[in-house]
Amino acid sequence: MSQSERLVLATRYRLVSEIGHGANGTVWRGHDDLLDRAVAIKELRLPEDLSEDDRVVFYRRTLREARAPAQLRSTSIVEVYDVVIEQGRPWIVMELIESPSLEDLIERDGPLPPERVAHIGRQLLTALDEAHRSGIVHRDLKPSNVLLDGDRVVLTDFGLAFSSGSVKLTKTGHFMGSPAYVAPEVAAGEKATPRSDLWSLGATLYAAVEGKPPFERENVMATLSALANEPPPPPLRAGPLAPVIDGLLVKNPTRRLTHARATDRLERALNGPRSARRAAPATPRLRLMIVIALVSATVASCGIGAAALIFGMTKAKPGPSPTSPTRKTGSAGQPADAPPPGAESATLLVRAREDGCKIFVSVPGSKLTVLADETLSQGDARKYNQPKLTVVVSNAAACDVWVNGVQKPDGRPGERRTYTVDRSAPDDNSGG
């Protein structure tokens, strides 16, 4: 065990093992002996050549890093517990989150599905809104500072953050932040604002769906040059997230999406456009009832026997009863709403009753496993037998869904539905 690992800070925070390190210091897994809980401890190392004045600036920046998230109350922002000065340098004690970062996930799995990126973006928008309402600008939002703890998305590392009432501590001429994710106006020397954080969010979401940030080049200068002189490349894998990313990556900050507009576009990406969420069209029986009501009113005003006329309407032609509309037939000649072969034994079966049935099927867990992300043609069917699944169905009216052998209710045109499939809990799989 190294000398550092034997160190106990402020007589209570014991270093256990190293989690990671970088140019500015080391992050340790620690234990708070007083409260008997695991913690993360960030050790910040000062460069050897710093002058005494620069050391003072460094300490003040460290305290600012701790104060910024400590002022905020959000599950999407890492919680800071304490700051300790030990061995001539600061240590920040915070919530321990033993989960991969968004950067780790991108490096391991490549581009992520738009549905998952939309969920990440929604929680990051919530975190930024909380920070910005408190006068705090993060200034270094990037995938490595986003932790994914199950469904929870956590924004970390407020080391470059500042509040509207704080003194600017960055040295003149010293570039701070990550070039691939910094807003163009900040790279040009202007003051960081909430809208520059929103640019960084757009670059982060772009990297998540495309596998790399929009202006990443071979070195810092080439990246900054592209940032200043080139338009953002259009995202090719973003799907419904494209309007959100495009709106966040507008170079003019006054024309960039605000929190409210970005949130609205994200909601549309998650739930479909408002125009598609209209009420379902009337069924044949409902249409007949409407016609009967209108005819009844008309003939009554003319003195005609309404009952006789209505009876004649319903009996005029042989055919199926209005209470039993004609059943559509599938590709094999069987009724389209009849369960396909194998539906009873499958945990999930999806069949396209018409073109445009779009599905996203994944296996939940610490590592998301995507089984399908496709649009089915009429008559196509997909069957899955995994005990746990999550399926997102877009344009639900075009899809028939069976979960654990039970057919789910019909959806509306353009409606997005999510089903959680769990063989061990068959009653917990209703669509949302």
Tens of pLDDT along 80-123? 898 888 887 788 899 999 899 999 999 999 999 999 999 999 99
pLDDT-based confidence at residue 172 (cuts at 50, 70, 90):
very low
134, 242: one domain: yes
Q: Please state at what angle helix 284-302 crosses helix 306-315, rounded to 10 degrees.
A: 150
269, 173: one domain: yes
Lowest-pLDDT range of 166-175, 209-218, 295-304:
166-175
Residue 281, domain member (yes or no): no
**For residue 365, what pLDDT is reported?**
67
Residue (of 362, 431, 366) closest to 402 by Cα position: 431
2, 92: one domain: yes
**For residue 410, what pLDDT is reported?**
87
Residue 280, domain member (yes or no): no
**For residue 93, what pLDDT is reported?**
92
Pick the last residue of a domain from 214, 248, 273. Answer: 273
List the domain range (segments joined by +) for residue 54.
Answer: 1-96
Residue 302 pLDDT > 90: no
Contact between residue 43 and residue 50 where contact means Cβ atoms under 8 Å apart:
no
Residue 76, domain member (yes or no): yes
**For residue 176, what pLDDT is reported?**
52
Q: What is the domain-level CATH number for residue 60? A: 3.30.200.20
112, 159: one domain: yes
CA distances to 7, 11, 275, 409, 413 from 281, rounded to whole Å, are 69, 69, 14, 15, 9
**For residue 236, what pLDDT is reported?**
93
253, 115: one domain: yes
243, 363: one domain: no
28, 111: one domain: no
103, 87: one domain: no
Task: Answer whether 0.85 is exceeded by the pTM.
Answer: no
Q: What is the domain-level CATH number for residue 170? A: 1.10.510.10
State the amino acid at position 256 in one-letter form: R
Domain count, the chain: 3
Residue 174, domain member (yes or no): yes
Active-site pick, 32, 140, 197, 400:
140
Does 140 participate in catalysis according to the annotation? yes
pLDDT per residue as tens digits for the range 266-289: 988 877 654 444 444 444 444 545
Chain position carrying tokens 């170079």 = 251
354, 213: one domain: no
**For residue 22, what pLDDT is reported?**
65
Rounded to an integer, what distance in angstroms lies between the CA atom of residue 369 and that of residue 233?
A: 28
Which residue positions form the known binding site? 42
Pick the last residue of a domain from 42, 65, 96. Answer: 96
Residue 400, domain member (yes or no): yes
Pick the last residue of a domain from 273, 292, 315. Answer: 273
Task: Select the more confidently predicted residue: 301 or 348.
Answer: 348
How crowded is residue 248: how many other Cβ atoms within 10 Å of its Cβ? 27
Q: Is 368 exposed, middle or buried (0-12, 13-18, 19+ CB in 10 A)?
A: middle
Task: Select the more confidently predicted residue: 179 or 44.
Answer: 179
**For residue 247, what pLDDT is reported?**
96
- Is the torsion defined by CA of 115, 117, 120, 123 positive or negative? negative
pLDDT-based confidence at residue 263 (cuts at 50, 70, 90):
very high
82, 109: one domain: no
Residue 314, domain member (yes or no): no
139, 77: one domain: no
Residue 310, domain member (yes or no): no
Residue 20, domain member (yes or no): yes
Give me the percent of the chain exceeding a pLDDT of 90. Answer: 38
24, 91: one domain: yes
